[in-house]
A and B are shown apart, each in its own frame.
Chain A
């Protein structure tokens, strides 16, 4: 095929073949040498690169500049997109800033309220666990505070984080705490995002069962469970734990309190909620002798106007003691300007 077309001289073709054959042999030998004695050839490669690459500084400079220009140009092209993105982020930041401001105000209010200590539920007595029932599940423990310290049956007991149980049995200087895992423990709770009431009943396992849920479909694992004030047993809103699916398929609660290390327990002094049996009197401040005071002037006002008030007004009374005591030193300052 090539013979009739090629016009090479007769000696060229064998020489060409020889040269190409030698080249191929050399390349193959180099490859095999690399395979057999890799470090030596790699050193040779490194030497070649060492001699070649430093001489490329002159080439690097314009290339670097050009690549930087290309990069700049790309960023120009993306500028609209970036702008939109930044706007979106700014919007989110505004939302967060608003939330932060609100939280700051709220925090200041709460701190203010905490300082004046108007809520008796915030006080507590801390006791040390002296002994437990000895079973692996620790269904009840004994703590070293008792009637001497004013402990009353039924008060809630927490560890640092969550509800642990309640007082059941008060001695002179010790009291017994029934833990939530005890099979006799029944505690009303609220599941937080859906607001459903339920009953937390212990069954001698580490995770008590959530019973009597209104609508079990709305429960999700991880929902917060807090105590409810149903029946007046516990102060509302104490953290209990989070919803979890038990191994047996029942809805259970993973307790927030660390039952593995119950050393110090905190007994909350929960007073029974005020029974509102008359209208008007709760709304109006009274002086120590019991006569109602006029909230605006601070002088005793004879007529409590109790009968004039409609009965439904008592349901709208906020439990927060926001009624200012005229002339009292503990009057809480709740106007917003102070909290800013």
Chain B
């Protein structure tokens, strides 16, 4: 029981890391230039938040921080700030995972939207404090809106494709305690 649990957790963490790697790779590959219209949603961020709400044990805080720090470095963002904010947001949701477990998708969506908005504001605020050039406001707002809009799709993909669901009643963790 313990061994399978640990393997299961590690496998899911590996899966998440693989998704991060592929997503970053697609970002930096010279596939196509910037296209006009709506910006692409931050799928990986939405996936991470949904995942943390479902299985907090799969994604340790250190993994999230390091992964987003690596993304910061590779994607030429100011290193550290976005990772810090994602860490804060994911920890906030992780604390409330047990509450969200009993919510329906609509309430969860609203909560995640609030967290995403707060994260975007905090990011811009942090950049503004140290006087670093920020993305255009309309573009980052559009990206935020698109990310919020695709969140249910991400949840659906997470549950049906990746088989990461909210723990059912009576499920036990690796130490044999009730989740």
Residues of A within 8 A of B (CB): 1-2, 5-7, 16, 19-20, 23-24, 26-32, 34-35, 41, 45, 48-49, 52-53, 56, 59-60, 63, 67
Of all A-B residue pairs in the complex, the 9 with the closest CB atoms, nearest first, are A31-B80, A30-B80, A27-B84, A27-B80, A31-B81, A35-B130, A23-B65, A5-B98, A7-B177
From B62, B78, B177, A23 is in contact (CB under 8 Å) with B62
- Using Cβ atoms and an 8 Å threshold, which residues of chain B touch A7? 177-178
Considering the complex, give the chain B residue whose CB is closest to the CB of A7: B177
With a 10 A CB-CB cut-off, give which of B62, B76, B81, B88 has the most chain A CB atoms. B81
- 24 A-B contact pairs sorted by A residue (CB < 8 Å): A2-B95, A2-B98, A7-B177, A19-B62, A20-B87, A20-B91, A23-B61, A23-B62, A24-B88, A27-B87, A28-B84, A30-B79, A31-B79, A31-B81, A31-B84, A34-B78, A35-B130, A41-B79, A45-B79, A48-B74, A52-B74, A63-B26, A63-B31, A67-B29
Q: How far, in angstroms, from A153 to B76 measured CA to CA in the complex?
A: 81
From A23, A41, A59, B87 is in contact (CB under 8 Å) with A23
Q: How far, in angstroms, from A59 to B76 measured CA to CA in the complex?
A: 20
Chain B, residues 133-162, CB within 8 Å of chain A (1/0): the string is: 000000000000000000000000000000
> Does B19 lie at the interface of the complex (its beta carbon under 8 Å from any beta carbon of A)?
no
Would you list which residues of chain B between 62 and 102 have a CB under 8 Å from chain A? 62, 65, 69-70, 73-74, 76, 78-81, 83-84, 87-88, 91, 95, 98-99
> Does B132 lie at the interface of the complex (its beta carbon under 8 Å from any beta carbon of A)?
yes
Chain B interface size, as a band, is: 20 to 34
Considering the complex, give the chain A residue whose CB is closest to the CB of B29: A63
Would you list which residues of chain B between 1 and 45 have a CB under 8 Å from chain A? 25-26, 28-29, 31-32
Q: How far, in angstroms, from A171 to B158 measured CA to CA in the complex?
A: 102
Q: How far, in angstroms, from A313 to B85 measured CA to CA in the complex?
A: 97
Considering the complex, give the chain A residue whose CB is closest to the CB of B95: A2
Min Cβ gap A3→B in Å is 11
* Other A-B pairs beyond A23-B65, A45-B79, A48-B70, 10, CB < 8 Å: A2-B98, A5-B98, A23-B87, A26-B80, A27-B83, A31-B79, A34-B78, A34-B80, A45-B76, A63-B31
Residues of B within 8 A of A (CB): 25-26, 28-29, 31-32, 61-62, 65, 69-70, 73-74, 76, 78-81, 83-84, 87-88, 91, 95, 98-99, 126, 130, 132, 177-178
- Do A49 and B65 have beta carbons less than 8 Å apart? no
- Using Cβ atoms and an 8 Å threshold, which residues of chain B touch A5? 98
Q: How far, in angstroms, from A317 to B74 measured CA to CA in the complex?
A: 84
- Using Cβ atoms and an 8 Å threshold, which residues of chain B touch A56? 25
- Using Cβ atoms and an 8 Å threshold, which residues of chain B touch A52? 74
Min Cβ gap B113→A in Å is 21
Q: How far, in angstroms, from A40 to B91 measured CA to CA in the complex?
A: 30
Min Cβ gap A327→B in Å is 74
- Do B73 and A45 have beta carbons less than 8 Å apart? yes
- Do A27 and B81 have beta carbons less than 8 Å apart? yes
- Do B99 and A27 have beta carbons less than 8 Å apart? no
- Do A59 and B25 have beta carbons less than 8 Å apart? yes
Q: How far, in angstroms, from A305 to B178 measured CA to CA in the complex?
A: 128
- Do B132 and A24 have beta carbons less than 8 Å apart? no
- Using Cβ atoms and an 8 Å threshold, which residues of chain A touch B126? 31
With a 10 A CB-CB cut-off, give which of B26, B73, B98 has the most chain A CB atoms. B73
- Do A63 and B132 have beta carbons less than 8 Å apart? no
- Using Cβ atoms and an 8 Å threshold, which residues of chain B touch A24? 65, 84, 87-88
- Do A60 and B29 have beta carbons less than 8 Å apart? yes
Min Cβ gap B51→A in Å is 17
Min Cβ gap A101→B in Å is 42
Q: How far, in angstroms, from A199 to B130 measured CA to CA in the complex?
A: 72
